Amino acid sequence: MNILTAKTEEQYKQKSSKGGLTSILTYLFLIFIAYSEFGSYFGGYLDQQYIVDSELREDVELNLDVFVHMPCDFIHVNVRDSTFDRKIVSEELKFEDMPFFIPYDTKVNDIPEIITPEMDEILGEAIPASFREKVDMRLYYDENDPDTHHHLPEFNGCHIFGSIPVNRVRGEFQITAKGLGYRDMNAAPKEKINFAHVINEWSFGDFYPYIDNPLDATAKFDKDDPLTAFVYYLSVVPTIYQKLGAEVDTNQYSVSEYRFNSTDKTFRDTGYVPGIFFRYNFESLSIVMTDRRLSFLQFIVRLVAIMSFAVYIASWIFILTDTLLVYFMGPKWSLRYQPEVQSHGILEGKR
């Protein structure tokens, strides 16, 4: 028999239960790492970059859907920007008289928490659409019917909606009453002026109605002062989402708001009149969010490197723990220690 290649018989081997436990824990940890890496390989990772917007864009679409607690005949809508361009958009937007109300599940006198949507959510909800045509709501009621005449709703509100192009510079969208701020032959009666409002949609770029924006489904009113000036400050950032060849070019914005009461002594010093004002500014930086995936070779190299490092660290943790236990607690606490068992020599027989 070759002594160098002879195997030790099982009855003369001494197994370590503590060492086996640490090996099992190490294997479980390696399986968890491999599972995580396979998930990142198939699911990809999000690469977010901030770049200077190199594309020259002269204008951008502004999409809005707003309820105002005033008849449409008394409302002025204008856009002014830093190029000193004043645009009367009343002919480009759609105006419908309506009974004013606040829809269910609307955030009243507050702005919802701004949450950046996930990539899959954006791609799934980026369904382009357009606003419907104007409808005369009075056609649904018969004013000449004596049985229903007294049950007709009061058309005390105005539904303003549509998409309009605005210059891609700092500007302000204004909703005011006729005769306030701008001269008009048909000035609005003071008792009819009320700038309580509901914002159903407010976005920039292509109209994607299923993508939530910070001002969507919000309402503001001041029951003590209907002549309040509501001012919104918007900072717009162009954003591009890219995944597996699909691309969505849209805009995100952050918003803050302030209100000026007509009873405030400093109201005139602000330069505002009662109304609703959206002051917007376009940032020069763009955000590009891309879903990327590792190549198979990169994935294998990364997986082997991470698992090798994990085994290396686990072995050193085992050695260090064993050394500390022996030093402070004694040899019997060693992870490698086993109780002595009675054994027989090779030539000895069992009695």
Q: How far apart are CA 33 and CA 27, in angstroms?
A: 10
Query: Is the pLDDT at 196 greater than 60, yes or no?
Result: yes
User: Lowest mean pLDDT: which of 71-75, 116-120, 154-158, 160-164?
Assistant: 116-120
Residue 297 is assigned to a structural domain of this protein: no
Task: Select the more confidently predicted residue: 240 or 133.
Answer: 240
| DSSP 3-state of 204 | strand
Q: Kindly report the backbone phi and psi dihedral angles of residue 199, in degrees, each rounded to the nearest multiple of 5, phi listed first.
A: -105, 110
Confidence of residue 39 (pLDDT cuts 50, 70, 90): low
Query: pLDDT of 134-149, one tens digit each?
Result: 766 666 665 566 555 5
Q: pLDDT at position 143, please?
A: 58
> Is residue 276 a contact partner of residue 181, using CB atoms and an 8 Å limit?
no
The residues, any chain, with a CB within 8 Å of residue 321's CB and separated by 6 or more, are: 335
Query: Do residues 59 and 301 make contact, with C-beta atoms less than 8 angstroms apart?
Result: no
Residue 13 is assigned to a structural domain of this protein:
no
In percent, how much of the chain has pLDDT > 70? 77
For residues 217 and 215, give the distance between their C-alpha atoms in angstroms, rounded to a whole number.
Answer: 6
Q: pLDDT at residue 225 above 90?
A: no
Residue 279 has pLDDT above 90, yes or no: yes
pLDDT at 351: 47
Cα 98 from chain centroid (whole Å): 32
Give me the pLDDT at residue 12, please.
Answer: 46
Task: Give the number of domains in the chain.
Answer: 1
Render 151-194 in DSSP notation, one character per residue: GPPP--EEEEEEEEEEESSSEEEEEEETTSSS--SSPPPGGG--
Strand partners, 65: 161, 201
- Who wins on pLDDT, 123 or 231? 231
209 within domain boundaries? yes
User: What is the model's pLDDT at position 89?
Assistant: 85
Is residue 309 classed as helix, strand or coil in its secondary structure?
A: helix
Among 122-131, 158-167, 173-182, 326-335, top mean pLDDT goes to 158-167
Structure token digits, residue 252: 């995100």
341 located within any domain: no
pLDDT at 322: 76
Comparing 17-21, 33-37, 73-77, 297-301, the range with the smallest average pLDDT is 17-21
Is residue 299 domain-resident?
no
DSSP state at residue 103: -
Condensed to tens digits (0 to 9), the pLDDT of residues 297-349 reads 777 877 788 778 877 787 888 788 878 877 787 777 766 655 555 555 545 54
Among residues 106, 99, 96, the alpha carbon closest in space to that of 75 is found at 96
- Report which listed range, 24-28, 54-58, 66-70, is most confident: 66-70
Residue 119 lies in a domain: yes
Angle at 214 between CA 88 and CA 99, to 5 degrees: 60
Query: What is d(CA 189, CA 187) in angstroms, rounded to the nearest whole number?
Result: 6
Local structure of 81: helix, strand or coil: strand
Identify residue 208 by its one-letter amino acid code: Y
Q: Is the pLDDT of residue 233 over 90?
A: yes
Confidence of residue 105 (pLDDT cuts 50, 70, 90): confident
Q: Which residue has the higher pLDDT, 290 or 217?
A: 217
Find tokens 């004596």 and name the residue.
146
Domain range for 91 is 50-292
Please list, in sequence order, all residues whose beta carbon lies within 8 angstroms of the beta carbon of residue 242, skipping any fewer than 6 positions away: 288, 289, 290, 291
What are the strands, taking DSSP E only, across 31-156?
45-52, 59-68, 75-81, 86-88, 94-98, 107-108
Q: Parallel, antiparallel, or unpaired for β 285-292 and 229-243? A: parallel
Domain-located, residue 29: no
The more confident residue out of 319 and 169 is 169
Judge residue 58's burial from the number of C-beta atoms within 10 Å of its C-beta, 0-12 exposed, 13-18 middle, 19 or more buried. Answer: exposed
Write down the mean pLDDT value for the chain.
79
Residue 79 included in any domain: yes
If you average pLDDT over residues 161-170, what whole number do you get? 92
Beta-strand ranges (E) seen in 226-284 are 229-243, 246-260, 275-282
